[in-house]
Structure 1
Amino acid sequence: MDANRRQSGIQQLLAAEQEAQQIVNAARAAKSARLRQAKEEAEREIAEYRAQMEAEFQRKVAEEETATKIEQLNQQAASISPEVIQMLLRHVTTVKN
């Protein structure tokens, strides 16, 4: 009986070892899956942030270009304004028969 008891104890130890190995493997797989998920989430957040920053940058560039264009138009209008006024006055004050 002593040999049977030892054999049974060895079988229990082997079964416990296999169960422990399965638990460790499952934990590793879960950890690996979680790391993959965290990486995907981080990449998605980075892409969203990059898109947001790019949109904000483009908006600022467009605003600056618009402000520059408005300034150029104002300068052009100021430079030709006296000529336009003279031309209008000439046409309004000229009487044709």
Structure 2
Amino acid sequence: MDSNRRQGGIQQLLAAEQEAQQIVNAARNAKTARLKQAKEEAEKEAAEFRAQLEAEFQKKLAESSGDSGANVKRLEAETEAKIQRLNNESERISADVVQMLLRHVTKVKN
């Protein structure tokens, strides 16, 4: 009877060990699944954040390019005004320049 009892005890220990192994495997599987889920959630959040930053960047880029259009118009106006001033100045002094050139060209030196 003692040997039956020992056999029964051993059988109980083996059954308990198998049950413990199943519990550990289930915990490992659950941990792996949770890690995978956490990774997917993190990737999703990162993608959303990246999309948000990209949208903000595109918005700022659009705003700055709109400003550059205004800058281009302002620079064109300034350039046109400078050209007009130079044309007016050249018209004002062109007669004097022609006279000076004629004086130097027609003057004979020994």
Matched residues, percent identical?
65
For residues 38-83 of structure 1, the C-alpha deviation after alignment (integer angstroms, 9 at most, x for no partner) is 0000000000000000111111111111101012123434637xx8
Runs in 1 of length 4+ with deviation above 6 angstroms? none
The separation in 2 between residues aligned to 1:75 and 1:57, in whole angstroms, is: 26
Q: Normalization by structure 1: what TM-score?
A: 0.77
| Cα RMSD after superposing both structures | 1.5
How many residues in Structure 1 have an aligned counterpart in Structure 2? 81
The separation in 2 between residues aligned to 1:75 and 1:10, in whole angstroms, is: 95
Q: 2:15 — aligned with what? A: 15
| Larger Rg computed on CA atoms | 2
Which structure 2 residues correspond to residues 58-77 of structure 1 after superposition, within 5 A? 58-77=58-77
Unaligned ranges ≥5, structure 2? 85-110
Q: 2:46 — aligned with what? A: 46
